[in-house]
Amino acid sequence: MTSVTVPCDLCGSTAFEPIYPGDISFDDANPSAYFSSSRSQAGHWPIVRCANCGLTMANPRDDEATLAQVYTSLQDAVYDAEDDNRRRTAQRFLALVEKFKLPPAQLLDVGCATGMFVGEAHKSGWQVTGLEASEWAVARARERCPEATFTAGFLEETDLSQSFDVITAWDVLEHVSRPSKILRRLHGWLAEDGWLFLNVPNVESWVARLMGKRWVLLLREHVWYYSPATMAALLRQAGFELICTRTHVVQFSMANVLGRAAQYPGAVGRLSQRWANLSWLRCVTVRFPMGEMNVVARKAS
């Protein structure tokens, strides 16, 4: 594992203001323990803000080789166990998409995980392609929706021969090495007047401000933390027009919520671990904002 210090991906500046110190060891030999819903540990690199444009990021952070190794081999049984709640979230994402574009049309879901959103979109009449780095997740996605097309690999290394009317990237842009590069690649895959839909952490959300250094989205796997302003600027640089943002409300079982709390050290983590193993809590569903925002953008003419 190697850590790297990088310039701001929005403006290129190397001047940063510290926000929160990191709480993981720089010589940790097992970074995968901090990734995915199945993580066994919670923690993050130092969080800083660009002194020039305000983009918030982890810096230093894991290098690209470490990230590639983790995401290629990732298996996430905890994520997979939340099928019913993931399906409802996918349906809400799809309802957002269909406010702006209706099927039949071509849709690419980047970071499709185990294919829940792809499956819901297919049932609604979309022609869907899913792209995902985790080979385990792609295998699960093909079982879930054999009618769709799935590709295992990283977006930066994938060549797609068609254009898409809609591209979705739910919970993706916070994980990538360079969001500006990803957005430019997505721009090239979109048809004229195509639509882009994202879900990302909102560092200016009331949840993030209220929780401060205890914000649950401060995680090692999250490299970037956006605001509506910095997201608009990144989109504009890549050839998109930001149409709107809205607060995203998550839905999990109480067992999942307690399992996440159990990843933290201390008395709360130990108590949460005891309660998280109670099977009946998987039937108790809660909805709440976690400090994320849906983003709707359009390819600029």
Residues 284 and 254: beta-carbon distance below 8 Å = yes
Q: In order of start, what are the domains of the chain with their CATH numbers?
A: 3-299 (3.40.50.150)
Mean pLDDT of 226-230: 98
CA 231 to mean position of chain CA atoms: 14
User: Alpha carbon of 50 to those of 126, 184, 200: distances in Å?
Assistant: 40, 21, 18
Mean pLDDT of 87-108: 97
User: Alpha carbon of 261 to those of 38, 142, 237, 244: distances in Å?
Assistant: 12, 31, 38, 32
| DSSP-derived pairing of the beta strands 127-132 and 106-110 | parallel
Per-residue pLDDT for 1 more than 70? no
Which pLDDT score, from 0 to 100, does residue 279 have? 64
Which pLDDT score, from 0 to 100, does residue 40 have? 83
Span 183-220, pLDDT tens digits: 999 999 999 999 999 999 999 999 999 999 999 999 99
Its pTM stands at 0.92
DSSP secondary-structure letter at 86?
H
Per-residue pLDDT for 275 more than 60? no
CA 285 to mean position of chain CA atoms: 21
Q: Whole-angstrom Cα distance, residue 99 to residue 120?
A: 15
Q: Whole-angstrom Cα distance, residue 195 to residue 165?
A: 6
For residue 215 the two structure tokens come to 């914000």
